[in-house]
Amino acid sequence: MGKLARQFEPFYAEIKRDIYAFARAMNFHPTWQQCELFDIVMRETHLPLKLRKKRIAVKSGQGPGKTAATCIVALWRCFQGVDRLTVVTAPTMRQCKDVWIAECTRLL
């Protein structure tokens, strides 16, 4: 392992373990509503597989930041390990393609 990889390893371990550290690394400051989602996702992620919920639903509302929060969650789940599956749904395919992917791109 190279010197740069060894320097990156503690940072990677922290953002892999804590979604809030990942959000800070992405320069994302969650609201209290988004923090509630992050808490649920972190709790479910660290539970044994048999005890996890199959789905986490986010109640709709205008302006609480659902799209941005789900982008952070999906990207964080990608850091958890190889071949992780995170399914994000929306009422229409247009919302998936145009809105959600655009928001993820903006965060990157």
pTM: 0.80
Secondary structure class of 67 (helix, strand, coil): helix
Taking CA atoms, 42 is separated from 39, 69, 80, in Å, by 5, 13, 11
Residue 26: CB atoms within 10 Å: 16
**35-93: pLDDT as tens digits:** 999 999 999 888 888 888 878 888 777 877 888 898 899 889 888 877 777 777 778 88
| Helix-helix angle 32-45:66-80, to 10 degrees | 30
What is the residue whose two structure tokens read 């979604």?
Answer: 19
**2-29: pLDDT as tens digits:** 887 788 888 888 998 999 999 999 999 9
pLDDT bracket for residue 1 (50, 70, 90): low
> How far does the chain reach from its first CA to its final CA, in angstroms?
27
